[in-house]
A and B are shown apart, each in its own frame.
Chain A
């Protein structure tokens, strides 16, 4: 599986957009980029995933660069409840669809 690199921590003001970057420079052509988050004392929550096109759902937007070597998760209007650890994971069929978690980014949303 391609490894990912994320900043250890970030913060943003409530109501503002949170932009969480992820580097996956060794990603292969059939690997998807997945984003999960883990709020304290809960299991990881799926947010969004994509292959090469930008994706948007009710929770977030995923922007993948044209060369697919990096991506950004965007929470358009962060709330205090978005404070969590965010994981960027690359996964594909060659890995038997396993999710290998890195250290993630700890996002703190400030009032």
Chain B
């Protein structure tokens, strides 16, 4: 399976600021996804990161709050903008090669907003 690296692994940020999270894969993948996991909750899909085009967002998530880039088949970024304490979560990147191959996850970015 692909090796997925997320940076930073954790951060503590001030409210009103923005943070960009990076997801790097060691091989080319067709699909990349971003998830959020709020404290004590399951994972919620934020968006599908599309290479060369705008990300596809799930209901309840908007580009202004969570801009996503995917410049190539091995890299994506998620920005959490204008952060508030409610954004304190783990943000996870996952990758897949399409068809019915399994997706694999990074270990996430633990974000705390003061």
Contact = CB atoms under 8 A, between A and B. Distances in A.
B104 interface: yes
A41 to B, nearest CB: 8
Contact of B102 (A49, A85, A96, A98): A49
A53 B94 CA distance: 26
Interface in B10-38: 31, 33, 35
Nearest to B105: A43
29 contacts: A42-B108, A43-B4, A43-B92, A43-B94, A43-B105, A44-B43, A44-B94, A44-B105, A45-B105, A49-B102, A85-B42, A87-B42, A93-B99, A96-B48, A96-B56, A97-B31, A97-B98, A97-B100, A97-B103, A98-B33, A98-B48, A99-B33, A99-B45, A99-B94, A100-B45, A101-B35, A101-B42, A101-B45, A104-B42
Interface of B: 1, 4, 31, 33, 35, 42-45, 48, 56, 92, 94, 96, 98-100, 102-108
Secondary structure at the B interface, as helix, strand, loop or mixed, is strand
Contacts of A25: none
Contacts of A34: 102
Interface string A82-111: 000101000101001111111110000000
A103 B105 contact: no
Interface residues of A, number: 22
A37 B72 CA distance: 29
Contact of A98 (B45, B105, B107): B45
A88 to B, nearest CB: 12
